[in-house]
Structure 1
Amino acid sequence: MSAISIYAEASPNPESMKFVLNSTLLPDGVSVDYPTIEAAANSPIAQELFGFDYVGRVFIAQNFVTVTKNQPELGWTSIIPELRQFIKSYVEAGGTLFTVDPAAEQKAAQAASAGDPTQQDGFTSQKIIDLLDNYVRPAVEQDGGNITFKSYHDGIVTVNLQGSCSGCPSATVTLKSGIENLLKRMVPEVKEVVAEGILV
């Protein structure tokens, strides 16, 4: 295994820090969000991270891990070196990241939540998914999070916010002024965008 380099990058959420690696953890477009240690049952690296008592959420994407702390009074300067060293050593040693393929899990979850849309809803949903994937997701990933499409029905788009977005003070503003405006402009059928996963 070649040497892993890793650096910490601040996110708009003051409680989340993005750790970027020069190594691929997941295929592009696949990500996993673990709001609790119980949710991380299929990810040994996430379970280990929850072992640090200040870790409250773990999000893993193509080449980064976003850690959200649950102790606001604890400054990042004291914990970044510890987390950076742990992730670097774990990946360099070839530690198991996942015991179940996240890409397969993601496909199954999307299929389950899709339900039985009408043909028109299905067409509109696909337009929304394409817009989110091409215009919104890259920007959200830059900030250490992710956005996924959940459903579209009667003009209402439901999305999931993950990683640093889930507890970010500016997530609601971004959702309404950025994402909702974009979708309404590009897909006239859209009336509103609502999000799951925002912790306020």
Structure 2
Amino acid sequence: MFIQTEETPNPATLKFLPGKVVMVSGTADFPTFESSRRAPLAQKIFSIQDVRNVFFGSDFISVTKNETSSWAVLKPSILGSIMEYFMVHDHVSVREEEGFSSHEELSEIEQEIKELLETRVRPAVAMDGGDIVFQRFENGIVYLQMQGACSGCPSSSATLKSGIENMLKHYIPEIEEVRAI
């Protein structure tokens, strides 16, 4: 198995491309070792010292390291973990969190926001090894969560304000501001 790697705009995050489907649907972000209990591959990667975040996209895995560690040291261990996992599994499985419900009612504006994010924003941020998730819309403000390489990236706030906020305001006049949470 050959796994490619790509740099991302976030120097602390590296994108791993195993050449196969990683997540059958959706994405999964693991900002802590504790959260990785829901996914065996994330837990295995987190067991490598200095790994700070693991993110699964449709066909990639983004790993964020501590600032003091070196990719030259971490990369071989991460590649080995990914390779071992995919020798046995077809894709990444993630257990649902208890009490999690994705069947919430969305207003018409919220549905429009989610549609714009899904069709125009998420493909672009996925290319950089990240994701952006709609959290809520209230009092004219859209709250978004940056994940993967986008979380903590130096250029993510500029992308959020200059790109995403302007685009959403253009299509949905009720939007006054976009904030990261």
TM > 0.5: yes
Q: CA separation of 1:125/1:9 partners in 2, compared to 1, >3 Å: closer, same or farther?
A: same
Equivalent residues of 1:7, 1:84 under 8 A apart = no
Q: Return the offset for 1:171.
A: 0.9
Q: CA separation of 1:99/1:181 partners in 2, compared to 1, >3 Å: closer, same or farther?
A: closer
TM-score w.r.t. length of structure 1: 0.83
Cα separation, 2, equivalents of 1:139 and 1:74: 28
Q: CA separation of 1:84/1:23 partners in 2, compared to 1, >3 Å: closer, same or farther?
A: same
Return the match for 1:151 from 136, 143, 155: 136
Does structure 1 residue 77 correspond to structure 2 residue 62? no
Cα deviation digits, residues 163-198 of structure 1 (max 9, x gap): 1111111111110111001101111111000111xx
Cα separation, 2, equivalents of 1:147 and 1:76: 25
Cα separation, 1, equivalents of 2:113 and 2:58: 22
Equivalent residues of 2:23, 2:91 under 8 A apart = no
Q: Quick one: which amino acid aligns to residue 36 of structure 1?
A: T
Equivalent residues of 2:6, 2:16 under 8 A apart = yes
Residue of structure 1 in register with 2:13 after alignment: 16
Runs of 4+ in 1 over 6 A off after TM superposition: none
- Alignment coverage as a number of residue pairs: 179
Return the match for 1:45 from 25, 41, 48: 41
Q: Return the offset for 1:27.
A: 2.1
Q: Could you say what the CA RMSD is over the residues aligned between the two structures, in angstroms?
A: 1.9
Residue of structure 2 in register with 1:7 after alignment: 4
TM-score w.r.t. length of structure 2: 0.91
Q: Return the offset for 1:85.
A: 2.5
Cα separation, 2, equivalents of 1:110 and 1:147: 16
Q: Report % sequence identity.
A: 38
Partner of 1:185, secondary structure, is: helix
Unaligned stretches of 5+ residues in structure 2: none
Q: Return the offset for 1:59.
A: 0.3
